[in-house]
């Protein structure tokens, strides 16, 4: 089965094989994996050990975002969040629940944020930070991290980046962008690894002393202190050790491919998908120039026989799994173009989608 989803993604058999072993988290043969993981992820994000740390914690991407919000913002501090879609809303919800104050900046769901709107909003001196979703997974739009970072930096503000669906393919260089207080990612999207860990790549000077996060589990400063005092070869609590093992293999594969080549492959996947969908009469939600390489939304056929779950089931029978929900204003289906897949998979998917529509008796395709 191929997962055409924006994470967890289709993985290479070697990555999967690394999950199928019993490992003791404290075994001396296993512990070096943790230290090597944080060093490699720090380097991949452009961090230098003197100024930055890659802090791993158990859980999914949201766990990392909560830890980042509790780490780089003090209680009551205000964070400006451009409302790009579902993941921006989630960041706002996590901030509010953690007692930090989100300030919503209206934004389009079909094109990238205009950095100028961020610049204008930062005229408000009560705003401490900007929270940016680099690749908004609900819409498929990629925001210009360098341009928005430059605006924040000019205004003397820092940035919290949700890089969960971007890291490993889209560029991130925290040394070139010192305004980035923290960037959050997981292994199971563009790194093509397995779920179970979240990583916060953070500036050391952005964190308070341990104990100020309002949570022990989510206290980044405590994770940093633990790593420093006990060594990076240990976790505070039981780590998802198989997932760490799989990430080591996934990182080897990323090193062999190269980040830019990976981005080029995903971009080609998205182009093959677009062509294939248009060939069967379906219209992508976004204009081509605003379509990012991570996930594409395709407008649902304007036919009364359309039923997303039936379509998903018909595709699944043919070996392709897509999400059975959509996040756009108009009815659509979404296709992730990341993971261990290439354009032949998206050509195959497009034929399967044509067959699935025929099986469902759908003649009328996307509205013009």
Ligand X SMILES: *Cc1c(COP(=O)(O)O)cnc(C)c1O
List residues binding ligand X (CB under 6 A): 6-7, 60-62, 87, 133, 137, 162, 164-165, 186
Which of residues 93 and 318 has its CB atom nearest to ligand X in the complex?
93
Give every CB contact of residue 22 below 8 A, 6+ residues apart in sequence.
none
- Smallest distance, Å, CB 346 to ligand X? 19
- Smallest distance, Å, CB 294 to ligand X? 8
Which of residues 254 and 357 has its CB atom nearest to ligand X in the complex?
254
- Smallest distance, Å, CB 327 to ligand X? 10
- Smallest distance, Å, CB 204 to ligand X? 24
Which of residues 7 and 149 has its CB atom nearest to ligand X in the complex?
7
Which of residues 186 and 291 has its CB atom nearest to ligand X in the complex?
186
Which of residues 137 and 202 has its CB atom nearest to ligand X in the complex?
137
Residue nearest ligand X by beta-carbon distance = 61
Which of residues 113 and 362 has its CB atom nearest to ligand X in the complex?
113
Closest CA to 65 of 201, 238, 222, 247: 201
Contact 200, 86 (CB under 8 A): no
- Smallest distance, Å, CB 162 to ligand X? 5
The number of residues in the chain equals 368
Residue with tokens 């901030």: 95
- Smallest distance, Å, CB 8 to ligand X? 9
């Amino acid at each position: 089965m191929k997962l055409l989803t924006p994470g967890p993604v289709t993985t290479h058999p070697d990555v999967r094989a690394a999950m199928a072993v019993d490992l003791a988290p404290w075994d001396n043969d296993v512990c070096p994996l943790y230290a090597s993981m944080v060093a490699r992820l720090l380097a991949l994000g452009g961090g230098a050990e003197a100024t930055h740390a890659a802090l791993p914690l158990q859980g999914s991407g949201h766990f990392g975002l909560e830890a980042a919000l509790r780490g780089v913002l003090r209680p009551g501090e205000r964070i400006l969040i451009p409302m790009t879609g579902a993941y921006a809303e989630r960041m706002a919800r996590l901030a509010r629940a953690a007692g930090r104050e989100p300030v919503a900046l209206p934004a389009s769901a079909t094109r990238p944020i205009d950095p100028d709107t961020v610049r204008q909003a930062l005229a408000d001196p009560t705003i401490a930070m900007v929270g940016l979703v680099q690749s908004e997974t609900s819409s498929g739009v990629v925001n210009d991290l360098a341009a928005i970072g430059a605006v924040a930096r000019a205004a003397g503000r820092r940035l919290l980046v949700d890089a969960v669906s971007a890291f490993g393919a889209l560029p991130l260089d925290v040394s070139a962008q010192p305004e980035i207080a923290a960037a959050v990612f997981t292994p199971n999207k563009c790194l093509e690894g397995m779920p179970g860990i979240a990583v916060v790549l953070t500036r050391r000077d952005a964190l308070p002393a341990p104990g100020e996060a309002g949570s022990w589990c989510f206290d980044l400063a405590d994770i940093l202190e633990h790593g420093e005092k006990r060594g990076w070869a240990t976790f505070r609590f039981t780590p998802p050790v198989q997932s760490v093992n799989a990430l080591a293999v996934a990182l080897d594969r990323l090193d062999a491919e190269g980040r830019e080549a990976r981005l080029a492959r995903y971009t080609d996947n998205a182009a093959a998908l677009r062509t294939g969908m248009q060939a069967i009469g379906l219209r992508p939600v976004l204009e081509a120039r605003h379509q990012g390489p991570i996930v594409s939304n395709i407008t649902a056929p304007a036919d009364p026989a359309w039923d997303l779950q039936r379509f998903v089931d018909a595709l699944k029978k043919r070996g392709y799994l897509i999400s059975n929900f959509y996040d756009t204003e108009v009815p659509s289906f979404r296709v992730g173009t990341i993971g261990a897949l290439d354009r032949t998979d998206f050509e195959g998917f497009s034929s399967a989608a044509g067959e699935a529509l025929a099986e469902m008796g759908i003649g009328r395709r996307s509205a013009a």
